[in-house]
Chains A and B, each alone.
Chain A
Amino acid sequence: MSSTSGPFSFDTLSLHAGQQPDPATGARATPIYQTTSFVFQDSDQAASLFNGERAGHVYSRISNPTNAVLEERVAALEGGVGAIATASGQAAVHLAVATLMGTGGHIVASHSLYGGTHNLLTYTLPRFGIETTFVDPRDPEAFRNAIRPETRLVFGEVLGNPGLDILDIEAVAQVAHDNGLPLLIDATFTTPYLCRPFDHGADLVYHSATKFLGGHGVAVGGVLVDSGRFDWDASGLFPELTEPYAGFHNMDFTEEYGPSAFLLRARKEGLRDFGACMSPTTAFHLLQGLETLPLRMQRHVDNTRRLVAFLAEHEAVEHVGYPEQPDHPDHGLAARMLPKGCGAVFSFTIKGGREAGRRFTESLNLFSHLANVGDAKSLVIHPASTTHHRMSSEALRAAGISEGMIRLSVGLEDPDDLINDLKRALRASQKEAR
């Protein structure tokens, strides 16, 4: 952590940040404030809360005490100025985009993105007049060349999908800042335990908290975090933040809130009007997960390293794509940016193509066959026979997916049990192929 992270370590903040023992009851755990709204002390207090003259909660679409603990905790772990909890990771990225631009806006994004985000940028946002140019995440100059006068955001993932290409955040942030633009990072796969994008120059970070932050696969949610470092005034490209907003008593967000301007606008407009807020019960579930984030992530990575080593030596495996492998194109970048590990989601290619992949997934016992990652339990999916089964071999290749590619999300089980499960399924996949 940097020298400006405060007196407490990451592990301590994972347990405590954002929470004081409940002032009403003394409860040590964060209470679930499952309420839509909050009683005003009097009319003046009510008016002051509505007008941004007092701090506090009015209505749970906009803020809630349980959610606020989660928001502060993630902000503390990321080293940001604050955060906003959202209904999902997709809601978080939409909130970021909608706060920064409207029709006519343009985004430059890595082409290695989660499929849902790719859909949002490719098909949905254009219906609202926002276009995206996709570029090679390994080429910072491609980001620079794609920037237009109407560009308002540069965007990528720490670990790209599906090849785990690592974004050189420092280099891409430099390109963005040279052009007066913020860099938004999806850090879902890494969590702040493995990488804090703000330390590398990113300006905004979001998570699908559904995955490793929550860690138990019981709650869908997202979190959008602001570093508070981007100079919106100097950029001159964001009147939403630097000019009076008629929708909130002519508030000029950078004038009034300085480093927190983006989050205030996102909350007072984005949550208020689009309404993709998080349930307080969801926030509670995610907080339970966050308490053990450092322990879980280390175990996820340790298990992953064992499985990668096993698969890399197995005769039925053509290739393992994990950035710590010497043949991965981003091996050097991984050592610099992700010294604690490159996460617990990776792909490998099984010999025998699409049919072998199908047999492999159906022969596993411990790995659950489903479309998610970041659970405490190990997960598997074979894109060519499931999510991408209608695609031809050529189309799969164009998407960077081979017919025998298997994606694993490595959980917290005993690694020997996981290896035994893989060993048996690999044998089954090859036996029947002959």
Chain B
Amino acid sequence: MELTVNGSKTYIYTGTHALEPGRTTWLFVHGAGMDHSAWILQSRYFAFHGQNVMAVDLPGHGRSAGEPLGSIEAQADWLAALLDAASVEQAMVVGHSMGSLAAVDFAARYRDRVKGLALVGTGFPMPVAEPLLEATRANDPRGIGMIMNWGISPQSHLGGNQAPGLWIHGQGVRLLEQAAPGVLFTDMNACNAYEAGVARAGEIACPVHFVIGDRDMMTPPKATAALADAVTAPVSRTVLRGCGHMTPLERPNELLDELIAFGARLG
């Protein structure tokens, strides 16, 4: 589905179903350099279970036009504009990595628009190592190698994908390779520069569910704890053993189960 958001063509995956009023809407926000396809199993599930799905391609990502947004705050404002364009009042918001920071900022500053918040592979701060920033600034493919080497757990590097026949490392690399030049650096820089995480977390009003991997090197559990401890709204969390940062790729089924249960709790 295509919408115009802030004057730019925007793609959202809706799971082959049109958005219908009165249904719960799930808004999925991808991580740095990725696109809607990172959420394909989870988004397809809800779309085929009577709920609205909006798995977005952020500006400049995937099938969406425009330039990538340079800050987490700008991404949060854009999510509000996206819901306006889709005539959706309120959504269950699911964010991964960079998308989780955008979701936190959005939930804090647009409190009425978020029914529940699921944060996947998240933490604060979300610093980016200088060699990775340098590599992505130069559009050096070694940057993608660093992201994937740090992003998936040692177990996932060896394989055992839940999706038959697909090589997790290869999937991640190819997805990131599809990002246009400059996109990955803009995203990494936005994560690195975001300073309001803890403050915003304290302003969130809706229930928050964290899904984290105990082998996450990019947002390790202690970084998740810093964010979770700042949330005053109801918080729940699930730790996936052996999972790294790329939960949607590494543990798609468990992540789906977590979202189903979270959605059921909120009714």
List chain B residues, Cβ under 8 A from A244.
16
Knowing A63-B164, A249-B16, the reply to whether A6 touches B149 (Cβ < 8 A) is yes
List chain B residues, Cβ under 8 A from A25.
none
| Chain B interface size range | 35 or more
Nearest CB in chain B to that of A68: its residue: B164
Interface check A19, CB cutoff 8 A: yes
Interface check A267, CB cutoff 8 A: yes
Whether the Cβ atoms of B44 and A81 lie closer than 8 Å is no
Interface check A423, CB cutoff 8 A: no
Interface check A51, CB cutoff 8 A: yes
List chain A residues, Cβ under 8 A from B87.
none
List chain B residues, Cβ under 8 A from A54.
41, 45, 252-253, 256
Task: Determine how close the nearest CB of chain A comes to the CB of B9; give it in whole angstroms.
Answer: 15
List chain B residues, Cβ under 8 A from A63.
164-165
Q: Report the bound CA distance from A388 to B18 in whole Å.
A: 61
List chain B residues, Cβ under 8 A from A165.
none
List chain B residues, Cβ under 8 A from A156.
none
Cβ contact of A57, chosen from B45, B149, B164, cutoff 8 A: B164
Q: Report the bound CA distance from A378 to B171 in whole Å.
A: 38
List chain A residues, Cβ under 8 A from B37.
255-258
Q: Report the bound CA distance from A75 to B172 in whole Å.
A: 13
Interface check A36, CB cutoff 8 A: no
Cβ contact of B157, chosen from A3, A8, A48, cutoff 8 A: A8
Interface check B158, CB cutoff 8 A: yes
List chain B residues, Cβ under 8 A from A80.
167, 170
Cβ contact of A19, chosen from B144, B160, B170, B178, cutoff 8 A: B160
Whether the Cβ atoms of B141 and A4 lie closer than 8 Å is yes
Whether the Cβ atoms of B170 and A228 lie closer than 8 Å is yes
List chain B residues, Cβ under 8 A from A64.
164
Interface SS of B by simple majority: helix
Give the contacts of B60-116 with A (CB-CB under 8 A): none
Whether the Cβ atoms of B161 and A258 lie closer than 8 Å is no
Knowing A17-B159, A48-B45, A54-B253, the reply to whether A75 touches B170 (Cβ < 8 A) is yes
Interface check A18, CB cutoff 8 A: yes
Interface check A308, CB cutoff 8 A: no
Interface check A172, CB cutoff 8 A: no
Interface check A195, CB cutoff 8 A: no
Interface check B56, CB cutoff 8 A: no
Whether the Cβ atoms of A257 and B40 lie closer than 8 Å is yes
Task: Determine how close the nearest CB of chain A comes to the CB of B253; give it in whole angstroms.
Answer: 6
Interface check A107, CB cutoff 8 A: no
List chain B residues, Cβ under 8 A from A19.
158-160
Whether the Cβ atoms of A258 and B35 lie closer than 8 Å is yes
Task: Determine how close the nearest CB of chain A comes to the CB of B34; give it in whole angstroms.
Answer: 9
Task: Determine how close the nearest CB of chain A comes to the CB of B153; give it in whole angstroms.
Answer: 11
Task: Determine how close the nearest CB of chain B comes to the CB of A22; give it in whole angstroms.
Answer: 10
Whether the Cβ atoms of B16 and A68 lie closer than 8 Å is no
Whether the Cβ atoms of B256 and A260 lie closer than 8 Å is no
Interface check A374, CB cutoff 8 A: no
List chain B residues, Cβ under 8 A from A408.
none
Whether the Cβ atoms of B166 and A81 lie closer than 8 Å is yes
| Chain A interface size range | 35 or more
Whether the Cβ atoms of B165 and A71 lie closer than 8 Å is yes
Whether the Cβ atoms of A3 and B145 lie closer than 8 Å is yes
Q: Report the bound CA distance from A251 to B144 in whole Å.
A: 29
Whether the Cβ atoms of A250 and B16 lie closer than 8 Å is yes
Give the contacts of B163-183 with A (CB-CB under 8 A): 163-167, 169-171, 173-175, 177-178
Q: Report the bound CA distance from A85 to B166 in whole Å.
A: 12
Whether the Cβ atoms of B144 and A75 lie closer than 8 Å is no
Knowing A4-B148, A8-B158, the reply to whether A79 touches B170 (Cβ < 8 A) is yes
Q: Report the bound CA distance from A20 to B241 in whole Å.
A: 14
Q: Report the bound CA distance from A432 to B45 in whole Å.
A: 75
Give the contacts of A249-273 with B (CB-CB under 8 A): 249-252, 255-260, 263, 267
Task: Determine how close the nearest CB of chain A comes to the CB of B184; give it in whole angstroms.
Answer: 13
Q: Report the bound CA distance from A267 to B48 in whole Å.
A: 21
Nearest CB in chain A to that of B170: its residue: A81
Cβ contact of B44, chosen from A52, A84, A228, cutoff 8 A: A52
A-contact 0/1 string along B126-155, CB 8 Å cutoff = 000000000000000110110011000001
Cβ contact of B170, chosen from A69, A76, A258, cutoff 8 A: A76
Task: Determine how close the nearest CB of chain A comes to the CB of B81; give it in whole angstroms.
Answer: 23
List chain A residues, Cβ under 8 A from B145.
3-6
A-contact 0/1 string along B1-43, CB 8 Å cutoff = 0000000000001001000000000000000000101001100
Whether the Cβ atoms of B162 and A55 lie closer than 8 Å is yes
Nearest CB in chain B to that of A223: its residue: B165
Q: Report the bound CA distance from A142 to B144 in whole Å.
A: 36
B-contact 0/1 string along A80-92, CB 8 Å cutoff = 1111110000000
List chain A residues, Cβ under 8 A from B160.
18-20, 69, 72
Knowing A4-B141, A229-B177, A256-B13, the reply to whether A55 touches B169 (Cβ < 8 A) is no
- Contacts A4-B177, A17-B159, A83-B167 aside, 19 further interface pairs with beta carbons under 8 A come to A4-B148, A6-B149, A17-B158, A17-B167, A20-B159, A48-B45, A53-B256, A55-B163, A68-B165, A69-B160, A72-B167, A73-B159, A76-B167, A84-B165, A229-B177, A244-B16, A255-B37, A257-B37, A258-B178
Binding site for A on B (CB under 8 A): 13, 16, 35, 37, 40-41, 44-45, 48, 141-142, 144-145, 148-149, 155, 157-167, 169-171, 173-175, 177-178, 252-253, 256
Question: What are 29 A-B pairs with beta-carbon distances under 8 A?
Answer: A2-B141, A4-B173, A5-B169, A7-B149, A7-B157, A8-B157, A17-B158, A17-B167, A18-B159, A19-B159, A51-B48, A54-B252, A54-B256, A55-B164, A55-B253, A71-B164, A72-B159, A72-B160, A75-B167, A76-B170, A79-B170, A81-B166, A81-B171, A82-B166, A249-B16, A255-B13, A258-B37, A259-B174, A259-B177
